[in-house]
Amino acid sequence: MKVSNLAMILIPESTNVKTGNIIQSYSHRATCPNRCPLKGNGCYADSYYTSRQWDRCENEGDKRYIANGQGLMLNLMSAVAIHAKNGEDSVLFRHNIAGDIAIQNSDMIDGERLSTIVEACNKVSSTLDVNILGYTYTHCSLSMQNFKKVQEAQAKGFTVNFSCETIEEVKEVKRMDCNAVMTSVNPDETIKALKDDGLKGLQCPAQTIKGMNCKKCKLCARNRDAVIIFAVHGKDSNKAKKVIMLKTGKIS
């Protein structure tokens, strides 16, 4: 896959109970960084339905396939228009139900890719006069280069959440005024550990509140103090739990 090729699909409407009816996308597997501990080790995206959608990013013949910024802007404009007609003054766009924003075979954020996505969101937002709350997650490295790219995206209204597994990673992200999320085997224990370090943790409301979803919550799409914690989930959750416990030193 060429780095310059977005190789993604855009889904204008969703029946996903957890996210609610929001705009979603998937990016090619090659966008996932090498350092992600869940890559091939219990990633929720390897579940049947999600994986089947994800595979479509490899099919240039799929009608939803997007190769470049112009294609993304046109498809995003059509998707946003659907939601705007339904009376939504703020339209949620989760970039990457599966996939990431890394340069292929690296742990570095693809600045060109990220800028293309942010620019498309802003152009569509200004054209349609609709507030787009765009956001995504990344397992790319906690480097100064990556922090800078994320800060630039945040300044333009697009939220990038650094995915973490340890308290030390969270502290590093927060020191750089960026947003952090955590995958946890025991969310209550993680919230307490964060509090002991002067940090606020909150388990994903869609996992704890009946009827809550991303469309109602919007926390991950905003700059915030709180670290959002996700309980391990997916068909290979036991494998994922082991990976996280190894990384955090809970088991050896």
- Taking the chain (252 residues) in runs of 10, the rounded mean pLDDT of each run is 77 94 97 90 80 94 95 97 92 97 96 97 97 98 98 98 96 98 94 97 96 97 97 68 72 50
Per-residue pLDDT at 3: 47
CA dist., res. 218 & res. 90, Å (int):
10
235, β-bridge pairs: none
Q: Which two tokens stand for residue 190?
A: 């993680």
DSSP strand E in the chain: where?
8-11, 23-27, 65-66, 90-98, 131-138, 158-164, 179-184, 201-203, 227-231
Per-residue pLDDT at 41: 74
CA dist., res. 42 & res. 120, Å (int):
32
Alpha helices (runs of H) in 108-248, residue ranges in sequence order: 111-128, 144-155, 167-175, 187-196, 205-208, 214-217, 237-248
Q: Which two tokens stand for residue 43?
A: 């990633």
* Threshold 0.85, pTM exceeds: yes
Q: Which two tokens stand for residue 91?
A: 């339209």
Residue 85: count of CB within 10 angstroms of its CB? 8
